[in-house]
Amino acid sequence: MNNNQKELPIHFDYIEKAEKLTFEWAKKEHINLFKIEYIVPFVLTDISLEVWLFFDSKKNMETYEADGTIQLTKEKYLDILTQLNYPSNYLNKVTFTVDSHENVQQNYGGSYFARLR
């Protein structure tokens, strides 16, 4: 990296791999995880990471909340980050928001950008 380029937060080194592995796990577990989005701060001193898990439908999301699948999915995502050697002080700053693809379609015109705002 030359001096003219800004350094990016390290999150980007991990989230693409973690996303792929989480989707592979969800598929094996027959969990209808539709999309994962992120809010990554572009301030190098801010080590937080907000992970948005979108399940396919409101109904499945409610079922997954009731049967513990959402919590299991969050734990699996964190476990995958740990396996990828995500720094432990960063790991403690990961938060999750859960929603459905169906909600994004119905209430945000299909725009994940609008939903994340």
Identify each DSSP E strand in 20-116 by its residue range: 33-39, 49-55, 94-100
Rounded distance between C-alpha atoms, residue 87 and residue 92, angstroms: 9
Query: Domains in the chain, please, with CATH?
Result: 12-116 (3.30.300)
* CA neighbor of 24 nearest in space, from 68, 76, 82: 76
Query: pLDDT for 8-34, tens place per residue?
Result: 667 888 999 999 999 999 999 999 999
Rounded distance between C-alpha atoms, residue 14 and residue 87, angstroms: 10
Rounded distance between C-alpha atoms, residue 104 and residue 114, angstroms: 9
* CA neighbor of 116 nearest in space, from 36, 6, 39, 57: 39
Tell me the pTM: 0.88
Tell me the mean pLDDT in the region 94-100.
97
